[in-house]
Chains A and B, each alone.
Chain A
Amino acid sequence: MPDPAVLSVGQYLELVNDRLREAAAFEFSIEGEVSDFRVAQGKWVSFDLKDELAQAVLKCFMTAWQLPHKVEDGMRVRVTGAPKVYERFGTLKLNVQSLELVGEGALRRAYEALKKKLVDEGLFDPSRKRQLPRFPERIGLITSRDAAAYGDFLRIVNNRWGGAEVMHVSVHVQGKEAVHEIIEAFQYFNALAPEDRPDALVLIRGGGGLEDLHAFNDEAVARAVYGSAVPVVCGVGHERDESLCDFVADVRASTPSNAAERVVPSREDVGYEIAMTERLFEDRMREMIDRMRRPIERLSASAELLVQGKALRFSQVTGSFEASFSRFLPRVSERLLASERVLRSVSPERVLERGYAIVRSGKGIVRDTGALDIGSDISVQLAEGSFEAEVQRVEGKGKTKLF
């Protein structure tokens, strides 16, 4: 049997580490309870992972940015990583690659611890909450296309309001990709030119346990919400669910449907408001016109009174005129008839009818026998017809009397 090879301590540990890497890397998750958790210089994290039953201790090392949650002593965690013997201290340590919390209790505590940290930093400060525009033209929607929340949101937005443009970025809302996809969606919207940016961002998902909500409780996501230049509405699951994003958001909606109600007004409400506004305009206009009209009305009223007075007197005068005229008219006609009677009685025809005759000579109507020459012709007109005759005797002189 040959003498074993002689190695320095350093060489030996190097060999051991080589073997450890081959044997143990990434093949197991190790579960235990955290104790003696420390962060050095804000970067280097070290803790002991303990096993209560076997009284075993595994020293762990990782960087702060690998920590997905706030970790505290007493939490149960599951880690993966590469074991290594550190030459200087001769101790075995696990270089942790991933760490996840185990059990609702641990997640709850991590959540509460992170919440407290963000509260202390002022991320939830009510004074920094921004108001949403009343009539958003463009809405940035960050959620999964497959989630019920997506359909609920769009349906309610459409029922309440019209004409808005919904810019939808589909992201995973849980699972490994969720955190960085949500953060990138925020980055996308905030990187748009101000005139192309949505008026509000809406981050929604259905309800779930703390584990499902991990992306909405992620510190980096919360900070993305906090840092958004566009106001954010956050709505998670059911009323009882809460997430850190809810507290950071400018508007915390109780559910995805409620997020839709918060982000757009209802047509009916706005329509009613417009109708009221119109009525107000009309009222004010009428008041204004009335104010102007009052002096004019007073003026025209007095003018009218004047006119009425004149009109009355005019009608009085014409009335009495008509009355007197109506009395006057029969009197005139009576006199007319009387004159007619007189005239008719003196007419020559009436005289002739009584048996008189008119005698005409060449010198006209004969009124005096002196105007008659014996032997001259005369014409005699009777009531009916006339005849010619010769004058034979005048006052007993002339030709022999015939009869």
Chain B
Amino acid sequence: MAKKPLHFAKAFEELEAITEWFERGDADLEEGLKKFERGLELASACREKLTEVETKVKEIRLKYTVTPA
């Protein structure tokens, strides 16, 4: 099965990791700017994903082997 361009769960996980990094507070500005930029990028990608898509239904047909009663 093809992977989607944005793996929402992974993106959200990364977002949470960045949040945690910021919450730790022992920050240097250079690193902070990088994370900040990455965080906003992820956030907007996630937000876009939220509004973008419909849930798809895929029917799976099983050939039931009828067990003797």
B56 touches A166 (CB 8 A): yes
Q: State in angstroms the CA–CA spacing of A137 and B15 once bound together.
A: 18
A288 touches B32 (CB 8 A): yes
On chain A, the residues within 8 Å of B29 by CB distance are 288-289, 292
B64 touches A162 (CB 8 A): no
Q: Of the candidates A134, A162, A277, which one forms a contact with B9 in the assembled complex, judged by CB atoms under 8 Å apart?
A: A134
A277 touches B58 (CB 8 A): no
Any B CB within 8 A of the CB of A396: no
A188 touches B52 (CB 8 A): no
Report which residue of A163, A270, A280 has the largest number of chain B beta carbons within 10 angstroms of its beta carbon.
A163
A163 touches B52 (CB 8 A): yes
B1 touches A271 (CB 8 A): no
Q: Of the candidates A180, A196, A271, A278, which one forms a contact with B39 in the assembled complex, judged by CB atoms under 8 Å apart?
A: A278
Q: Of the candidates A134, A135, A162, which one forms a contact with B55 in the assembled complex, judged by CB atoms under 8 Å apart?
A: A162
Q: Which of A273-297 contact B (CB under 8 A)?
A: 274-275, 277-278, 280-282, 284-285, 288-289, 292
Q: Of the candidates B18, B56, B62, which one forms a contact with A165 in the assembled complex, judged by CB atoms under 8 Å apart?
A: B56
A180 touches B67 (CB 8 A): yes
On chain A, the residues within 8 Å of B46 by CB distance are 270, 274
Q: State in angstroms the CA–CA spacing of A167 and B62 once bound together.
A: 12
Q: Which of A150-196 contact B (CB under 8 A)?
A: 154, 157-158, 161-170, 176-177, 180-181, 184-185, 188, 195-196
Any B CB within 8 A of the CB of A350: no
**Interface size on A (CB < 8 Å)?**
43
On chain B, the residues within 8 Å of A292 by CB distance are 29
Q: State in angstroms the CA–CA spacing of A278 and B39 once bound together.
A: 7
On chain B, the residues within 8 Å of A168 by CB distance are 57-60
B9 touches A167 (CB 8 A): no
Q: Of the candidates A170, A181, A275, which one forms a contact with B59 in the assembled complex, judged by CB atoms under 8 Å apart?
A: A170
Any B CB within 8 A of the CB of A310: no
Residues A280 and B64 in contact in the complex (CB < 8 Å), given A267-B51, A270-B50, A274-B47: no
B50 touches A267 (CB 8 A): yes
What distance in Å separates the Cβ of B12 from its nearest Cβ neighbour in chain A?
Answer: 6
A271 touches B47 (CB 8 A): yes
Any B CB within 8 A of the CB of A133: yes
A177 touches B50 (CB 8 A): no
Q: State in angstroms the CA–CA spacing of A274 and B4 once bound together.
A: 20
Any B CB within 8 A of the CB of A376: no
On chain A, the residues within 8 Å of B66 by CB distance are 177, 180
On chain B, the residues within 8 Å of A308 by CB distance are none
Residues A163 and B49 in contact in the complex (CB < 8 Å), given A154-B57, A288-B29: yes
A164 touches B50 (CB 8 A): no
Chain A residues proximal to chain B, CB less than 8 Å: 98, 133-135, 137-138, 154, 157-158, 161-170, 176-177, 180-181, 184-185, 188, 195-196, 267, 270-271, 274-275, 277-278, 280-282, 284-285, 288-289, 292
- Can you offer 23 A-B residue contacts whose CB atoms are under 8 A? A137-B8, A154-B57, A162-B49, A162-B52, A162-B55, A163-B4, A163-B8, A163-B53, A165-B56, A168-B59, A184-B65, A188-B62, A267-B50, A270-B50, A274-B50, A277-B19, A277-B39, A278-B39, A278-B43, A281-B19, A284-B25, A285-B36, A288-B27
